[in-house]
Amino acid sequence: MNQATFNFAPRGKRADIAAARNAGRPVRGQASRLRGDEAVDPGDVLGFDYARFGMVPPAPCLWPGHPIREGWERGRRLMTRRTRPATLAVTRWLALRLAAWQRGEAFDDHQITPQVLRSLEVATHCPITRRALGTDACVVPVDIQRGWTAGNLMLASPAIADRWTSIDWALAKDALARAEAVPEEAVDGLPLRHWRRIVALKSLATPLPHDEAARIPLLVLPPNRVRLVNPIQELQA
């Protein structure tokens, strides 16, 4: 039979007791500090998250003194067997943060979470090639100028993802104009239909004059969670 217990200590004494109990739970406190404003190096926070999900960082990050290794070792000591399952979304989340950190790019891991990346998995086909997406699908920012921010991400095939970050709005429009001049030939390795879809996608995240945005045919539906920046396209979508 379970026995109920009651705390008859004065209110001030209760606070002291609660503080003492919380002092014996270092994992949550240290994890929040690592992921909070006190974090100095994002690599240290990233290493901690690798340990939090029971994963091992890539070998080049495991050299002694590496920020990711230091965070990973700290996480392993704190987490012991209390790790979380590493889903495909978690794996992508860690890989994206690692790549952004290595390139010196900003990545808001508070807005872009594994749950956000999991919501992108509703896409079954690459919006550019229209081919089925597999587990090797890559997350890319729609507008490379806005970078890794919430509302600016989509899934693409690896072949498109390799080239995507080098294609900005001006380049896409120029390539489309050249492709329309020679519709039977590939321009920069891509056919006309691909450039039309690229321009349509890029326009969704690029602030444009009303008349220009209205003239762009939406040959692809906006990917899930992409934030449209042109009001006329919100009406069309």
Q: What are phi and psi of 138, to 5 degrees?
A: -115, 145
148 strand-pairing partners: 107
Of 25, 57, 79, the position where a domain reaches its end is: 79
Q: In what helix (H) or strand (E) does residue 139 lie, and over which residues does it extend?
A: strand 138-141
Q: How far is CA 117 from CA 21, 55, 139, 188, 193, in A?
A: 36, 18, 8, 30, 27
Q: What's the CA gap between 61 and 175, in Å, rounded?
A: 38
Residue 5 domain-assigned (yes or no):
no
Residue 3 domain-assigned (yes or no):
no
- What pLDDT was estimated at residue 18? 43
One domain, residues 61 and 170: no
Of 79, 102, 124, the position where a domain reaches its end is: 79
One domain, residues 49 and 107: no
Residue 150 domain-assigned (yes or no):
yes
One domain, residues 112 and 136: yes
pTM: 0.75
Reading the chain (237 residues) residue by residue, the pLDDT tens digits are 444 444 444 544 444 444 444 444 444 344 444 444 454 588 999 999 999 999 999 999 999 999 999 999 999 998 877 788 889 999 999 999 999 999 999 898 889 999 999 999 899 999 999 999 998 999 999 998 888 998 999 999 999 999 998 999 999 999 999 999 999 999 999 999 999 999 999 999 999 999 999 999 999 999 998 999 999 988 887
Q: Total structural domains in the chain?
A: 2
Q: Count the alpha carbons within 13 Å of 200 in the hemisphere toward its beta carbon.
A: 17
Residue 1 domain-assigned (yes or no):
no
Residue 6 domain-assigned (yes or no):
no
Of 79, 99, 115, the position where a domain reaches its end is: 79
Q: What's the CA gap between 49 and 41, in Å, rounded?
A: 13
Residue range(s) defining the domain that contains residue 147: 88-236
Q: What are phi and psi of 54, to 5 degrees?
A: 65, 30
